Every structure is written in C-alpha cells, then in structure tokens.
Amino acid sequence: MKALVLEEKLRLSLREIDLTAEMKMGPRDVRIRMARVGICGSDVHYYKHGRIGPFVVNQPMVLGHEASGVVVEVGKEVKSLKAGDRVCMEPGIPDPTSRASLEGHYNLDPAVRFWATPPIHGCLCTEVVHPAAFTFKLPDHVSLAEGAMVEPFAVGLHAATKAQIKPGATAVVTGAGPIGTMTALAALAAGAGQVVISDVAAEKLKIAGRYAGIVPVDLGSAPLVERVKELTGGWGADVVFEASGSPRAFEGIFELLAPSGTLVLVGMPPGPVSLDVVAAQAKEARVETIFRYANVYAKAVALLASGKVDLKPLISATFSFAESVAAFERAAEGRPADVKLQIAVEESAR
C-alpha cells in the first residue's frame, strides 16, 4: 500500500509498504479509505528528531494520526456503521480489558496502540482497518476536512472537561498554537464567557482573535497578568490552560488564577519545570493534567455538527497525497500563520 513513511530522522518517502498485518479485519473492525490527514506537531517532531521522549523511531514508520475517511467494509458484528459512511477515527486503541480501560481511563492504558507512535504505524496511507468503537460517523454537513480536525480538538475538549468550566467563567490559555486555539474554542463551547489567549507570535493571535469571545494578548506588548486582572475586576481567571509547553509560561502562572481556580497543564514542556507550590496553596488552586483524551470524540463531533465550534478557519493549507513530503517540509518550517496543514489522501473526498 502507498504510504508516507518516515524512514529515519529527516528522511521521508512516499512509497509502497507492506501493511498486511495492519489490514487484518476482525468482526468488530471497519475498513476505511483515507480522506484527510492533519499534520500534528508530534508527526513533525518525529520527522525532525526521530523520537519523542522514550518513543524512538528505530524502523520505518508510517506517519499521521489526525484522520477522516470513508467506510468501505464493515466486520460481521458491526451495527453502528456501514459502507459509504464518512467518519473520523480516534487514533489510540487500548486493550479493553486493561485495568485503565475498565476504570474509564483508556487513554492511560500502558498497552495503548496509538497511530504513528513507534512502533505503531500511522494512517498516512490509502486505507486503514480500525475498530468500529473508535470510528465516529460524521453528519452530512460536517466535511471530511473538519473530521480530521476532531483529533486535535479532542485534546482541547478533554482539557475543558477536566477544568469543569462554569457558565460565564473567564479562562486563560497560554500558547496560541493549534492546541491552544482549539482549547480556547473548547472552553467557550463548555460555557466560558471569555477566553484570553496569549502568545509571542502576532500572526497566531490574529487567527485566534477572529473568534468571538477570544481575547488575544501579545506577550511582547502587554503583561498578561495585568490584562487578566483588567478583564476580571482584579479577581483573576477561573481557569488557566497552559498550552505552550514553554518553561517560561510556568513562571508566576498562579498569579493569573482567581482564588480556588484551576490550572490545567496541556502543553508538554521539554523537561522538568518548576511550579510555585506556595502560590498555588495560597489560592487553593486545583491542578489538572491531561494525556491525549478519553471519551470526548462523540462530543467533539456533536459540537462541530451543531455549529457551536467552527474549526474550518484553522485549516491553513491542504496538500495532495503526492505532495506529502513537501507538506511535512513546510510544517517543519513552523510558519506562524500555519495553524493546521492537511493532506488530502483521496483527492475527490471533501
């Protein structure tokens, strides 16, 4: 099957690869013709560095995990989907009998098989076989391009769920990358009255600031804490989402928070960072962390279907499958105005 293969660090090729083992259909699986795949920061990280923490690319690996497609075949026991259904796929498959799965935290199953996390192949290929339980039908008016945005949006939605946002709350998101912006949109959908988003890149803030309810703050021109105080009558934000992963963002982060507020750690810093515990205690702050997401895919699709969340403006450019390598080279440049780049594996699928 044709696939975009990361041969090793900094070497990608669009070539034939044997995925026979991956294409074995079980009774609860569906076979899907791939339509759109978004390029994620993690894909780019594997491309540039050949590893993320303990996950090392030791053999050629197909990239991609933000996916949508069209069902072409369903297993004998599948009732929820049929051939022709347009779908998006949740990329992490846990062992359903693991303790983590049984306790409702399937994303934390140590045995989870997540697309494009070595040694598991990703989905930048023409077809995949996937469990029906992790495959979600898209309503007619939600495009396949939007379907491939559900994966990164799920991260934001999981963060907003963990934050337990109350109606009208003020949230702050530090970092206006794709995940930060989608976290801000998830916070608004969860009921936040306003979401302040900060970054050093003016282009990123411009894109996020086009959404009603999102207040962009350029860290180069205004101290974030002053702006948050101004907007909250000196009280602080009910929720702060740290979505930059930048060690600097952790300095004084509790100053942004209202008493009894919640800090949600979304971004992954490059190494250990320090948090001011006493500042957290003085406010009885609650600190939450997230690892990917669980139980939010259907809700994410529902928010797109209702029109409450519009992710279309965040798709900056779409490349053909033949241009996949060029798409990754552009993603690796990290242009600030590029929020999400997508690859149209199937040209006709929109």
Which helix (H) or strand (E) segment holds residue 55: the answer is strand 55-56
How distant, in Å, are the alpha carbons of 193, 236, 245, 257 from that of 262?
16, 11, 17, 7
Least distance (Å) between residue 259 CB and Zn ion? 34
Residue nearest to Zn ion (CB): 40
- The token pair at 262 is 């919640």
CA distance 242 to 238: 13
Residues within the interface to Zn ion (CB under 5 A) = 40
CB count in 10 Å sphere of residue 218: 18
Least distance (Å) between residue 238 CB and Zn ion? 27
CA distance 189 to 153: 12
The alpha-carbon radius of gyration of the chain (Å, integer) is 20
CB count in 10 Å sphere of residue 96: 11
CA distance 194 to 108: 31
